[in-house]
A and B are shown apart, each in its own frame.
Chain A
């Protein structure tokens, strides 16, 4: 049972455009929602994360939007650059239960073309 659904599977965006990746979750106990970025040949690295007490978090060109009632969250990359080309994973966790596990989405391969 997939608990975090991520879309799209792949995304092509022109340089300067906005990249949007969406995730939906089922478990209402999830209370921590990170996004990881993975470049070819590297392991994933934490990009940005949000908790459900806020609806939006922004770090530079990266913004997470969170909709608790819809159980959805999304990553927006403003002014997308070729250097942003990577695979992005959303994830979710239930930290309230003392769990350190992350449940990952299946990933989105982003290509930013010049």
Chain B
């Protein structure tokens, strides 16, 4: 069974704090993704990575950065958290050549006060 683990289920931070969201997958997948999920807006892609040390911007990268130092780990960084970044964050991974099947973690609900 593919397992995508997000380090925190719930997180409360203050405006201006630097926030790290961690994601680890155990299936040696090449591709990893970060989405945010908001009611009525669906899943929006923030950043993705096809390989270690590689990153590409998704649809809404502003205010975020990512890090992928190891194949199994993909971190999302909020350099200076703002209230409009309060959201559910979902990490996903997929193997190359598998028809774009993405496996999701359970999500981190981030509240920025």
**Chain A contacts to B: CB under 8 angstroms:** 6, 9, 32, 34, 36, 41-46, 49, 89, 93, 95, 100-102, 104-107
Known contacts being A43-B92, A100-B50, A100-B94, is A32 close to B105, with CB within 8 Å? Answer: no
Q: List residues of chain A with CB within 8 A of the CB of B94.
A: 100
Residue total for B at the interface (Cβ-Cβ under 8 A) = 25
Assess whether B106 is in contact with A44, with CB atoms less than 8 Å apart.
no
Assess whether B99 is in contact with A32, with CB atoms less than 8 Å apart.
yes
- Chain B positions 29-49 with a Cβ under 8 Å from a chain A Cβ: 31, 33, 40-45, 48
With both chains docked as a complex, state the minimum distance between the C-beta of B52 and any C-beta of chain A, in angstroms: 15
Known contacts being A43-B90, A43-B92, A43-B107, is A89 close to B42, with CB within 8 Å? Answer: yes
Assess whether A9 is in contact with B99, with CB atoms less than 8 Å apart.
no
Q: How far is the CA of A89 from the CA of B104 in the complex (A)?
A: 13
Q: List residues of chain B with CB within 8 A of the CB of A100.
A: 31, 48, 50, 94, 96, 100
Assess whether A44 is in contact with B43, with CB atoms less than 8 Å apart.
yes
11 contacts between A and B (CB under 8 A): A6-B42, A42-B106, A42-B107, A43-B4, A43-B92, A44-B90, A45-B103, A46-B102, A49-B101, A89-B42, A101-B100
Asked if B58 is an interface residue, CB under 8 A from chain A, the answer is: yes
Q: List residues of chain B with CB within 8 A of the CB of A46.
A: 101-103
Q: How far is the CA of A93 from the CA of B71 in the complex (A)?
A: 23
